[in-house]
Amino acid sequence: MIQINPTYRYTVAGLPGQGKTVFARHIIKQLKTSGVDTVIYDPMAQYTDLDSYVPKYFATEYQMPEFDDIAMQIWDKRNVFFVVEEVENFLPQAGRRSGIMWRIINMGRNYGLGVLAVTRRISNMDKTMFSLSDKTFIFRLFSPNDLEYCRGFIGKSADTLLPKLKCGYYLQCTSTAVTLHEPVPWDGKGKPVN
């Protein structure tokens, strides 16, 4: 079992097809089983069986206002764990970012708000989310930009470890340690078991 505090911030990063969504589903299932109110912002419609919110507008100029509306509802409600897929679209390294998401990341913990930020391109995500994450789970990456980004947080081992991770394996990074973990159990169809 992965230890998750519903008021903490977590980042999950890795290439497509490496196990991020299976891993995120595992965490969501754990939280829901424990009675934690969980809201999933799901632009790729990967969590529809878990009552996720699939936006009407993806990759258009209308996406940010729609996201901000959902994030504001979460801010107002409090005591929610917010799962955001494709988080680099809402908290980019450059360009317009969601002000309310910024508030949730920086102050949400004081209001019972936790975040699981899932990204394929960690180097495109604002560094504040990464640096404030209580735990970061990194699956296979090999882009020079992504490796350089990770190097700033986990050291030169990023260059040798991350490109060689097998599918499903991940590094768990905290302020005190970087550890290698085996895949969460899954059914072969993209869903965790147990």
Average pLDDT rounded to a whole number, residues 126-150: 92
- Average pLDDT of the chain to the nearest whole number: 89
**pLDDT value of position 184:** 87
What separation in angstroms does the CA of 96 have from each of 20, 41, 55, 81? 25, 18, 18, 24
Please determine, for residue 40, whether its predicted confidence score (pLDDT) is greater than 90.
yes
Which tokens belong to 20?
A: 């991020």
Q: Which residues contact 118 (CB under 8 A, 6 or more apart)?
A: 11, 12, 13, 20, 21, 24, 83, 84, 85, 86, 87
**pLDDT value of position 191:** 63
Please determine, for residue 39, whether its predicted confidence score (pLDDT) is greater than 90.
yes
When pLDDT is cut at 50, 70 and 90, the band that residue 94 belongs to is confident
**pLDDT value of position 166:** 95
When pLDDT is cut at 50, 70 and 90, the band that residue 194 belongs to is low
Higher-pLDDT residue of 185, 150? 150
DSSP of 107-161, one letter per residue?
A: HGGGGT-EEEEEES-GGGB-HHHHHH-SEEEE-----HHHHHHHHHHH-THHHHH
The superfamily in CATH containing domain 9-181 is P-loop containing nucleotide triphosphate hydrolases (3.40.50.300)
Average pLDDT rounded to a whole number, residues 22-49: 91
When pLDDT is cut at 50, 70 and 90, the band that residue 53 belongs to is confident
Q: 114 burial class (0-12, 13-18, 19+ CB within 10 angstroms)? A: buried
Give the span between the Cα atoms of 64 and 59, in whole angstroms.
9
When pLDDT is cut at 50, 70 and 90, the band that residue 54 belongs to is confident
Average pLDDT rounded to a whole number, residues 29-42: 93
Please name which of 9, 5, 42 lies closest in space to residue 25, comparing C-alpha atoms: 42
